[in-house]
Amino acid sequence: MDYHFTEEQGLLRDAFAQFAKEEIAPHAAAWDAEDHVPMDIVPKLGEMGIMGVFVPEEYGGTGLGHIERCIALEEIARYSAGLAMMVFTHHLGVAAIVDYGTEEQKQKWLPGMCDGSCVCGLAVTEPGGGSDVAGLKTVAVLEDDTWTINGRKCFITNSHCAGVTVVTCRTGEDEKGRPLMSTIAIEAGTEGFKPGREENKLGLRGSFTGELIMDNVKVPAGNTVGAPGKGMPITMKELGEVGRASMAAIELGILRACLEDAVAFAKERVLYGKPISKLQAIQFQIAEIRCDYEASRLMLYNAAAMKDEGKVGAEFSMAKYFISEAAVRSAKRLMEIMGGYGFVNEYPAGRYLRDAVGCIPSCGTSEIQKMIVAGETLKKF
Amino acid sequence: MMDMNILVLLKPVPDPEQERDIQIDTGSGRIVREGVKHVIDPESRNALEAALQLAKKPGGEPGFVAALAMAPAQMKDKLTEALAMGADEAYLLSDKAFGGADTYATSYTLAAAVRKIEAEKELQFDLILAGTSSSDGGTSHVAVQTAEWLGRTHISNVCSIELPDSAAGGALIRAVKRSEEVMLTFEGEGPAVIGVTRDINKPRLVTAMGIIKARKKPLTVWNIEDLVIDPDKAGLAGSPTKPGRLFKPETGRTAKEPWETPEEAAAGILEIIREAGI
Amino acid sequence: MKADDINKILILDQGDPVAGQLLTKAAAVFGEKTEYVVLKAHKTHNIALRMMEQTVREENPELVLIGATALGEEIAPALGVRLRTGVAAHCVDIRVNDEGRLTFLIPAFGGRVIGEIFIPDAKAGQPAIATVKPGIFQQRISLYDGFCRTDIGPAPSVRIIDADALAADGSIPEGSKTQGAFRLAEITPRQRAASDIACAELILCGGYGLGNEETWHKLEALADKLNGAAACTRAALDAGWGCTEDTMIGTSGRAVSPEVYVGFGISGAAHHTCGIAGAGRIISINTDKDAEAFAASDYKGVFDAEQVIDALLDQIK
């Protein structure tokens, strides 16, 4: 189980795994059951270097790449996919600031986002849909160097805990009448900006998902992340690369949980005088999970390596599609292996399945990923 | 504030969590090491944590913490991990000629490395810290024997180390040693070699930032020619104890299973206790 | 070194029963032709170490046996370096093998593996040194100091060198309150006497399978009512149910040899089972029918530990 990690990446993985084992594993079931968002762990994630793992060191980050970011998310999601959702969405907003933010924005926000004192969010989806970015209705109007923003976002992760949220707004039309979008950072506590309804989710519990309401919110023009009117490519790039990579990493963590729990259970559970791991029917299930895990791992870390080298294409879409389906398959297999134990909430198999299913819509459903993959494939071959 | 120079002896060991799977190769009679994950021995990790706490007190002039291990070259990452935890420098003694060393030959080689580090750095370590007992061999020898080769004080089974007058610039070291019936508090000034126990502290986790900082810290690898030692005293050749066969322990017991219910078991247990005349 | 070459054995008496255990074992292995010398030394490091070194140089034994107590674990390896000889740590057996060689059996990996150790170049004055944990060689038998048990054969003749007496007449320099260059500033008693489980004839030991603190307290109450001692495994200790390290059995804890040992909810990692090898009868209760503990037991029951403890409490009312 070693995708050519460097010695340093190996150490990081061990460090993150140890952290997850000590700080996350003992609480993951309770966070899920109570849908409790563990805000007290965020500074610890900051201290570990996970909150700002890919942020340059001069802004308080760790200065690593996307492979390392995926390692962190896989290790967190191994025990709590819900918490991993919070971290991934934070990374999404942070990535927009790192990639497109002004020097002033970086110095103002990134240090707190790295040390865990400020959680970041990115808000795109609206009640009308998520993947149709051009159809967004939240509007920002610039007057006297001040944006006035009105609209409503929904299904936003970190909606109720983000200190800064990067919001995608419609800010005009081009000469052909197509909408122009801008990404604007809004700080929590700004007048007229407030979280709305908090969703009660099937899976990925332990993270906030909810509405953001913008009612005549006024922010300075200096809060624009990237050039005005370029919000669409910025959003698409961060969702497409950071977002899909993260979701794939979280699904990979769930998949590994299924693998490890399946093996542990099969060795412990005795039927007819021997552990069920001796039964071929169980072995086949375990072999399927293992193959899914190894294939997923290669796809994800290969894509992340390509991203770090700046030449990633549709690889993250392929990984996101394949791994999310593989995670659902493996969770179902785990439940079959565990029989009745798989069905009761005392064991985490049901949580893995709910989380795996919950991952599918984030950053594009499987159908969306397949459209992207097909688009690139038809061009390339 | 007194700044301390501390050396930590680290031992890479097979992961104690995988001990259940330890296999003996029936042909060679040796432990199968292939595919076994190695980690820093848990008590050595406590020793490193203790060193970092003593030498890197907030607000004080930071002292110097070095880590030293004798291990095959592929264990280098364990020293990188020590640097990531906060050690300033690390030294790996790695040579085929060191292989098969018992605690006598190991401590002899470690002591030679200590002298070399001290000569190069022009300092004397106030403390050398180690785990009292490693998770694999568990002899409790190496800290004591390294001290003997160096002619320094040694104390093992230490569960607390304090520097009571360091704020006033004093060099006093106070160490609490656990013995069977009592706790013994010793006081003195370095140099000394102290073996710590698991309960002395909870070692910090390695952080991503620590790993990045470790990139810039020196990690020196020495072979047998780098040390001033008698080659006949190193490795298997220099070891007065020689290993023979390894085997899984036999208990010589075969368990009967005479009881059908917990109540029967309880009655049976009471009967056995009575038979034994207790 | 051949066992036949051993003419004299030096044993360190630290003032606890382990010296008697070592003497018993040595007498059983090496018989009457060997001379036995016991050095009674203060429980202080510097004097014990210096006197051991001096006695070896004067008496020229071929074998030195030291109890692996907190003190013995420091004296033995230090002596090894001073005398330029090998030390076999925490022996679980000392034997003469088929070739007549002196063989030490030592545990590794917490007792999961036992290895043979030889010290081939040991000789008179440069002796093989071995340490043995208290309790490994039959706990309650002591062959001198008035504890002689005749049912294991005649006691060997033993010469006792009393370092305490030497200290009193001034021939030992100061040093009773020092370890190396450090001075002993304070002695504080530990919370619970370590001898609780060491001398117990009945031990009820709880493992992680007890499941919770409440069951541990039930086990303690049961042990109390049966005039036995409650003990624990490392896993139970780490669970933080209130068990203390003094009552932990195993390689990192204590070795015991009660008449009857009952283990509840103990997986039976070798760490633990090697600490009970000397017990009379071993009973194990565990829900896991494949628990390693069963292989080291005389009686087993595949039951929930708490149910059996409850039944026992019920039946002794």
Cβ contacts of A10 on chain B, cutoff 8 Å? 77
User: Which of chain C's residues have a Cβ under 8 Å away from the Cβ of A275?
Assistant: 290
Can you give the pLDDT at residue C172? 47
The closest of A214, A211, A189 to A198, measured between CA atoms, is: A211
Instruction: Tell me the C-alpha distance between B120 and B210, whole Å.
Output: 26
- Cβ contact C204:C228 at 8 Å: yes
Of B165, B145, B171, B159, the C-alpha closest to B6 is B171
Residues spanned by the domain of B131? 5-233
B239 within a domain of the structure (yes/no) = no
Residue B21 lies in a domain: yes
Q: DSSP of A248-299, one letter per residue?
A: HHHHHHHHHHHHHHHHHHHHH-EETTEEGGGSHHHHHHHHHHHHHHHHHHHH
Nearest to B192 among C82, C108, C180 (CB): C180
Q: Does C170 touch chain B (CB under 8 A)?
A: no
A128 touches chain B (CB under 8 A): no
- The answer to whether B193 touches B144, Cβ cutoff 8 Å, is yes
pLDDT of C166 over the 90 cut? no
* Interface A-C: count of C-beta contacts within 8 A: 4
* Domains of chain A, each with CATH number or no CATH: 7-118 (1.10.540.10), 122-232 (2.40.110.10), 233-380 (1.20.140.10)
* Residues B76, B38: Cα–Cα separation, whole Å: 11
Contact B273 C109 (CB under 8 A): no
CA distance B37 to C12: 40
How would residue C168 be classed by pLDDT, with cut points 50, 70 and 90? low
Q: At what angle do helices C213-225 and C305-315 cross, to 10 degrees?
A: 30
CA–CA min distance A264, chain C (Å):
14
Q: How confident is the model at residue A1 (pLDDT cuts 50, 70, 90)?
A: very low
Mean predicted confidence (pLDDT) in C88-104? 90
**Is the Cβ–Cβ distance between A169 and A231 less than 8 Å?**
yes
Confidence of residue A273 (pLDDT cuts 50, 70, 90): confident
- Give B124 to chain C, closest Cα distance, Å: 16
Are residues A8 and B206, on separate chains, in Cβ contact within 8 Å?
Answer: no
- Which residues does residue B196 pair with via DSSP β-bridges, in sequence order? B131, B158
Shortest distance between the Cα of A280 and any Cα of chain C, in A, equals: 20
pLDDT tens digits, B54-87: 998 777 678 899 999 999 999 999 999 999 999 9
pLDDT tens per residue, range B224-276: 999 999 989 999 999 999 988 887 776 678 888 889 999 999 999 999 998 88
- Give the pLDDT band of residue A274 (cuts 50, 70, 90): confident
Q: What chain A residue is nearest to B84 in terms of C-alpha separation?
A: A11
Write out pLDDT tens, residues A13-57. 999 999 999 999 999 999 999 999 999 999 999 999 999 999 999
- Identify all chain A residues contacting B207, using CB atoms and an 8 Å cutoff: 15, 47-49
B110: part of which helix (H) or strand (E)? helix B103-121
Beta-carbon separation of B141 and C80 below 8 A: yes
Higher pLDDT, C173 or C269: C269
Q: For A271, name the nearest residue in chain C, comparing CA atoms only.
A: C289
Return the pLDDT at A239. 86
Does B273 contact C113 at a Cβ distance shorter than 8 Å?
Answer: no
Mutate to test the interface with A, among B206, B217, B221 (most CBs of A within 10 A): B206
CB B208 within 8 A of CB A68: yes
Q: What tokens does B187 get?
A: 């006081």
CB nearest A18 (choices: B77, B205, B211): B205
- The predicted model gives C273-281 an average pLDDT of 80
Residue B276 lies in a domain: no
Tell whether the model's pLDDT for residue C151 goes beyond 80. Answer: no
| Distance in Å, alpha carbon of C196 to nearest chain A alpha carbon | 34
Determine the residue type at A283: Q
With beta carbons less than 8 A apart as the criterion, state whether B8 and B97 touch: no
CB contact C90 to B (< 8 Å): yes
Q: Are the C-beta atoms of A257 and A80 separated by less than 8 Å?
A: no
Assess contact for A275 and A263: CB atoms under 8 A: no
DSSP string, A331-377: HHHHHHHHTHHHHSTTSTHHHHHHHHHHHTTTTS-HHHHHHHHHHHH
Neighbours of C138 (CB within 10 A): 17
Residue C152's pLDDT is 44
CATH number of the domain at B141, please.
Answer: 3.40.50.620
Taking contacts as CB-CB distances below 8 angstroms, the residues of chain A near C289 are 270
User: Which of B45, B205, B215, B216 has the most A C-beta neighbours within 10 Å, making it the best mutation to test the interface with A?
Assistant: B205
Say yes or no to pLDDT of A266 above 50. yes
Mean per-residue pLDDT over chain C, rounded: 83
Residue C175 — very low, low, confident or very high, per pLDDT cuts 50/70/90? low
Mean pLDDT of the B196-213 span: 92
The C residues from 268 to 297 touching B (CB cutoff 8 Å) are 269-270, 273-274, 277, 280-285, 294-297
Place of tokens 């049976």: B268
pLDDT of residue C139: 45
> How far apart are the two ends of chain C, measured CA to CA in Å?
58
Is C24 an 8 Å CB contact of chain B? no
SS (H, E, C) chain C: CEHHHCCEEEEEECCCCHHHHHHHHHHHHHCCCCEEEEEECCCCHHHHHHHHHHHHHHHCCCEEEEECCCCHHHHHHHHHHHCCCCEECCCCEEEECCCCEEEEEEEEHHHCEEEEEECCCCECCECEEEEECCCCCCCCCCCCCCCCCHHHCCCCCEEEEEHHHHHHCCCCCCCCCEECCEEEEEEEECCCCCHHHHCCCEEEEECHHHCCHHHHHHHHHHHHHCCCEEEECHHHHHHCCCCCHHHEECCCCECCCCCEEEEECCCCCHHHHCCCCCCCEEEEECCCCCCHHHHHCCEEECCCHHHHHHHHHHHCC
Chain A: give the shortest CA distance to residue B36, in Å.
13
User: Residue A38 half-sphere exposure, CB side, CA atoms within 13 Å?
Assistant: 26
The CA distance from C26 to C66, in Å, is: 12
**Which residues 116-135 in chain C show a CB within 8 A of chain B?**
116-122
Nearest to C160 by CA among C37, C255, C78: C37
C290 CA to chain A: closest CA distance, Å?
9
**Has residue C56 got a pLDDT over 50?**
yes
Please give the Cα distance from B249 to B27 (Å, whole number): 18
Chain A contact partners (≥3 CB pairs within 8 A): B, C
Kindly determine whether residue C110 and residue B16, on different chains, have CB atoms separated by under 8 Å: yes
pLDDT of C149 above 50: no
| Higher pLDDT among residues A269 and C218, named by residue | C218
Q: What is the 3-state secondary structure (H, E, C) of A106-131?
A: HHHHHHHHHHCCCCEEEECCECCECC
Q: Which of A176-180, C5-9, C254-258 has the weakest average pLDDT?
A: C254-258
Residue B243 and residue C116: Cβ atoms within 8 Å? yes
pLDDT tens per residue across span C153-164? 445 678 888 876
Instruction: Find the CB nearest B207 among A8, A47, A57.
Output: A47
- Record the tokens describing residue B102, joined without a space: 């018992």
**Beta partners for residue C9, in sequence order:** C36, C63
For B:193-212, CB contacts with C below 8 A are: 199
Look at C179 and B22 and tell me if their CB atoms are within 8 Å.
Answer: no
Question: What is the structure's pLDDT at A178?
Answer: 84
For B138, the closest of C90, C185, C283 (CB atoms) is: C90
Q: Running DSSP on this structure, what letter comes out for residue A174?
A: -
**pLDDT confidence band for C43 (50 / 70 / 90):** low
CA angle C253, C258, C259 (to 5 degrees): 160
Q: What is the pLDDT of residue C153?
A: 45
Q: Does A56 touch chain B (CB under 8 A)?
A: no
Cα separation, A106 vs A253, whole angstroms: 30
Chains that touch C (3 or more CB pairs under 8 A): A, B
The residues that bridge with B247 in the sheet, in sequence order, are C114
Q: Tell me which chain B residue has its CA closest to the CA of residue A6.
A: B77
Per the structure, the count of domains in chain B is: 1
CA torsion, points C295, C300, C306, C312, in degrees to nearest 10? -140
Q: In this predicted model, what pLDDT tens digit does every residue of A106-151 receive, in sequence order?
A: 999 999 999 999 999 999 989 876 667 667 889 999 999 999 999 9
Q: Does the beta carbon of B102 lie under 8 angstroms from any beta carbon of chain C?
A: yes
Q: Is the pLDDT of residue B26 over 70?
A: no
Give the mean model confidence (pLDDT) for residues A342-350. Answer: 91
Which one of C73, C218, C222, C286 would you mutate to disrupt binding with B, by most B Cβ within 10 Å of its Cβ?
C73
Chain A interface, Cβ < 8 Å to C: 268, 270, 275
Q: Is the pLDDT of residue C57 over 90?
A: yes
Query: Could you tell me if residue B262 is inside a domain?
Result: no
Does C33 touch chain A if contact means CB atoms closer than 8 Å? no
Looking at the domain assignment, is residue B257 inside a domain? no
CA angle B9, B24, C294 (to 5 degrees): 100
Listed in sequence order, the residues at least 6 apart from A189 whose beta carbon sits closer than 8 Å to its beta carbon are none
Q: Is B28 a residue whose pLDDT tops 70?
A: no
Domain assignment of residue B246, yes or no? no
Say if CB B129 and CB B259 are below 8 A apart: no
Identity of the residue numbered A299:
M
Q: Which chain C residues have a beta carbon less than 8 Å from that of B257? A: 299-302
Confirm or reject contact between B246 and chain C (CB < 8 A).
yes
